[in-house]
Chains A and B, each alone.
Chain A
Amino acid sequence: MALVCAGAAGIAEAQSVSTYGTPGLLEIPTAEMFEDGTLAFTAAGFRDTARGTMTFQMLPWALGSFRYAYIKGFDGAVGDRYDRSFDFHFRLREESKHGPAIVMGLRDFGGTGVYAAEYFVATKTFHDRFKLTGGIGWGRMAGRGAFANPLGIFGDRFETRPSSNDGETGQLDFGNWFRGDAALFGGASWQQNDRLTFLAEYSPDLYTAEGDNIGFDIHSPINFGVQYRFKNGTQLTTSYLYGTTLGLTFSYFINPRKAVTPGGQGAAPPPLRPRSQVAAAADRTQSDIRGRLQRALDQEGLRLVYLSDSSDTVQVGVENTRYGQAAQALGRTARVLANEEPPQTEQFNIALMSRGVPLSAVRVNRDDLYELEHDPDNAWRSFARAEVSDTIPLVDGGILTDAFPHFSYRFGPYLNFSFFDPDDPLRYEVGAALGLDYTLTPGFTLSTGLRLPIFSTLDDSTRVSDSPLPHVRSDWAIYARESNLRIEHLTAEYLWRPGTNLYARTTLGYLETMFGGLSTELLWYPTDSRLALGVEANYVAQRDFDVLFGFQNYTVATGHASAYYDLPGEYHAQVDVGRYLAGDYGATFALDREFTNGFKVGAFFTLTNVSSEEFGEGSFDKGIRLEIPVSWLTGRPSRNKLAQTIRPVLRDGGARLSMRNRLYGVTREARAQNLSRGWGRFWR
């Protein structure tokens, strides 16, 4: 659990955003940073050019951007240019009273090279309102006034810049970084008031390729602009660029730490009744108590599946169907137990369970609840007194007879996206989804998920995969075209605990949209550990394009050894090493920023023994992902999340089986690390 001191000084925030979607003036960068954790979405347009950028302030001193740009008619007879690019922007020096902030930037460091540039930039603020920026740029920025590379003193190789690696997009272009001629750039901004900022800059970019291909004229290196900041922080900038074109830039900011409501809406937990009232009901029978517990927990969105009593301890197992934070489910269970259990019960041992399988247990002392319910520091003090353990030893017979079999369902709309197809950069599919789960006995569940597309542009795609690898993912358009009502999955799954700190899963059936077969997994994950280790082995066959019952001829044995590490400071790292669906061997590296409220922003890449030529466009699999809890949007408790992975291109190399209920995801919410982080909700 994190305790935050109020009133801490904020980090100086970037006041303006360039057309590239990073802190900047109009076209040139500045040495500023966004507030840590900020997600900035920027759309910019000027003559025949549109840029959409998502920038994430990953660390207080580093930000990363993904950009999708459109240049009309850039490729002549071939047509328009759609360009994907990634940037990094590192602060080398923080602004001080007498010195500027200094940033090193890499723009479009791994893409087609259309925007490839590197720079060092410095920004100094004067009297809070006036900011002066100056820097030196290479690559695209070495246009007007270019001079021999000053880095040439470190070696002749810096004096020339090889052409970018066209045709092998997606490879890191670090061989070109900071090479060739350089040029200076600079500018200034004046913040008139909280709403209005005036911007002026000198940009050395000559738009040479655009000039050659689409007749983009540059008459002047001086750009002017006015930026208006709306009350919610959104920015709109109008500009006059290069003496020839008008520009418009719009930026929208999200602070993942700021959920729609800070405390959440919805029913508060039941207050603890006075001991005298609880004692007055002490003559209840066991079955009365059980019935009342079940009803009261049900009202709190918790399913009682296990109950056993010893002299002064009650052990319960609950499944949380409502709360994004497991700590909140624990707190509500503890309150219900205090209100319903006879007075002689002193200890509550609460196991968090999933499909009848215990994940971990927390022991809460009844007296502590009474003592701390109204204590202003109750979150921290109650966590210090709670005891998290692997799990309580569940005694046979403790599982409630009416808890299984258990049936649950969900029905609602779904939305799928496909990005960056040059024929239609944003394809989508909207439809109805039905999910059914039938847990026969603890751990053993039959599940299915059906989807019926209603509106779709996914199936308009006529692109044919040119991949020399088995088409394990790149035939997605054929799947979209040839399927209607889809069986997304149809599985029999068994979860169990083979030993202390161990979890196991076996799943048989249609595992995901494109593959079916057998999947087995074992996870080692001690309750109080930041590290988890897992192995997964699958034998799968590719499903027919209609996504119903048939299979194609392609089969593969695929699996991974995985290491998961919960890094300090809201970061999470994962490495998966093994064999992928196309039979290629390699590893996936993923890093996520995870906010306590469940908002996640992450990036991943996969390197396998498939060469970049075999892989095709993009050279290797990579992408970014966003996960937004529904409760973050609504303020009301929910376990639902909106998740979206954005890949520049979906190819066959480095493709992993998309398995539901991987054990790490199932078990993680109940680990001590996660409970500790979310304990602020124990009393909510």
Chain B
Amino acid sequence: MTALRTALLALLLISCGEVQEDVDLLKGTLFPSAPRFHPRAEALAARRPIPPRLEVGFPKHDLAGVMLLETERDGVQTWLTADGATITMERGMLTSAIGFGGGMSGSDLRQSVDLILTGGLGYAERFHSFLNGDDEIELHAYRCRITPLGPDTVVLQGTPVATQKQQEDCYGLAQQFTNIYWVQDSTGRIVQSSQWTGDFLGNMVIKVVPDES
């Protein structure tokens, strides 16, 4: 399919559109891993002090990178990659991922987050909206079991951090997935996690980069 799409594009990039846009499209298709820097990311990277960062990765696709905090409003943080894709997080829980190819648009995770941050055992319902390949919004509901896995130490920038490890197993009508969270003992914040972004990309590993100060 990729070969067909590339061939079609290479042959048929015709008609409308500014040249640069077409060239970018073709480059993006032929060299999907080539770096593209978005002006917003450039502006953010030039800020001093350096904005808070996350180390992120999609293990299934062998992709990894750094995201910078672009803004925070009403408790929701928006983090930006170099090529302009974003995730939003609320109390350390992933609520949307835009620009990565997957369709996660929004989430209601209030029940899950309450259990995870308090180290509780129990069930929660979570809701996600996804944009599908036909530009339609799908609403998905999941029932999740949250299980404390006990203390665990994670290493952030070379520093060991004491955490409580939690696992969340979720089941929906068509999907099931598992998220894992490491909640820092001293702050009660999620400092490392593996969270599901949807069928397209699978789980995303997210790790807080501590302030250097």
B134: contacting residue among A3, A259, A370, CB under 8 A: A259
Contacts of B200 in A (CB 8 A): 261-263
Contacts of B90 in A (CB 8 A): 374
Contacts of B139 in A (CB 8 A): 3, 5-6, 376-377
Please state if B131 and A680 are interface contacts (CB–CB under 8 Å). Answer: yes
Judge if A7 is at the interface, Cβ distance under 8 Å. Answer: yes
Contacts of A299 in B (CB 8 A): 39-40
Stretch of B15-23, B113-121, B156-164, B181-189 lying at the A interface: B15-23
A-contact 0/1 string along B89-110, CB 8 Å cutoff: 0100001111111111111100
Total residues of chain B contacting the partner, CB 8 A: 69
Known: A265-B85, A271-B86, A636-B28. A4 touches B13 (CB 8 A): no
The docked-state distance in angstroms from the alpha carbon of A265 to that of B33 is: 13
Judge if A397 is at the interface, Cβ distance under 8 Å. Answer: no
Contacts of A81 in B (CB 8 A): none
Judge if B63 is at the interface, Cβ distance under 8 Å. Answer: no
Contacts of A257 in B (CB 8 A): 132-134
Contacts of A642 in B (CB 8 A): 8, 12, 14
Please state if B104 and A634 are interface contacts (CB–CB under 8 Å). Answer: no
- Residues 263-299 (chain A) with a chain B CB within 8 angstroms: 263-274, 299
Please state if B106 and A374 are interface contacts (CB–CB under 8 Å). Answer: yes
Contacts of B138 in A (CB 8 A): 3-6
Judge if A666 is at the interface, Cβ distance under 8 Å. Answer: no
Judge if B73 is at the interface, Cβ distance under 8 Å. Answer: yes
A-contact 0/1 string along B139-175, CB 8 Å cutoff: 1100000000000000000000000000000001110
Contacts of B22 in A (CB 8 A): 410, 412, 640
A376: contacting residue among B15, B21, B99, B107, CB under 8 A: B107
Judge if B192 is at the interface, Cβ distance under 8 Å. Answer: no
Please state if A266 and B174 are interface contacts (CB–CB under 8 Å). Answer: no
Shortest CB-to-CB span from B126 to chain A, Å, is 10
The docked-state distance in angstroms from the alpha carbon of A377 to that of B127 is: 10
Please state if A265 and B106 are interface contacts (CB–CB under 8 Å). Answer: no
Judge if A308 is at the interface, Cβ distance under 8 Å. Answer: no
Contacts of B80 in A (CB 8 A): 268
Known: A267-B83, A642-B14. A680 touches B137 (CB 8 A): yes
Please state if A374 and B13 are interface contacts (CB–CB under 8 Å). Answer: no
Judge if B29 is at the interface, Cβ distance under 8 Å. Answer: yes
Please state if A415 and B11 are interface contacts (CB–CB under 8 Å). Answer: yes
B-contact 0/1 string along A654-684, CB 8 Å cutoff: 0000000000000000000000011011011
| Chain B minimum-CB-distance residue to A679 | B137
Please state if B17 and A410 are interface contacts (CB–CB under 8 Å). Answer: yes
Shortest CB-to-CB span from B63 to chain A, Å, is 12
Please state if A641 and B15 are interface contacts (CB–CB under 8 Å). Answer: yes
| Chain B minimum-CB-distance residue to A325 | B135
Known: A271-B86, A374-B95, A410-B19. A6 touches B173 (CB 8 A): yes
The docked-state distance in angstroms from the alpha carbon of A661 to that of B2 is: 32
Judge if B71 is at the interface, Cβ distance under 8 Å. Answer: yes
B131: contacting residue among A5, A263, A628, CB under 8 A: A263
Known: A412-B14, A630-B13, A641-B15. A266 touches B135 (CB 8 A): no
Contacts of B127 in A (CB 8 A): 376
Contacts of B86 in A (CB 8 A): 268, 271
| Chain B minimum-CB-distance residue to A434 | B19
Known: A262-B103, A271-B70, A376-B107. A3 touches B136 (CB 8 A): yes
Best-buried of A4, A256, A374 by chain B (most CB within 10 Å): A374
| Chain A minimum-CB-distance residue to B127 | A376
| Chain B minimum-CB-distance residue to A630 | B25
A sample of 15 cross-chain residue pairs with beta-carbon separation below 8 angstroms, ordered by A number, consists of A263-B100, A267-B40, A271-B88, A272-B71, A274-B72, A274-B73, A374-B74, A380-B137, A411-B19, A414-B14, A596-B134, A630-B13, A635-B101, A636-B28, A639-B16
Besides the contacts A257-B133, A412-B22, what 6 more A-B pairs have beta carbons closer than 8 Å? A4-B136, A261-B200, A267-B40, A271-B71, A638-B25, A640-B16
Q: 6 closest Cβ contacts across the A-B interface?
A: A267-B84, A7-B173, A263-B103, A261-B101, A376-B106, A268-B86
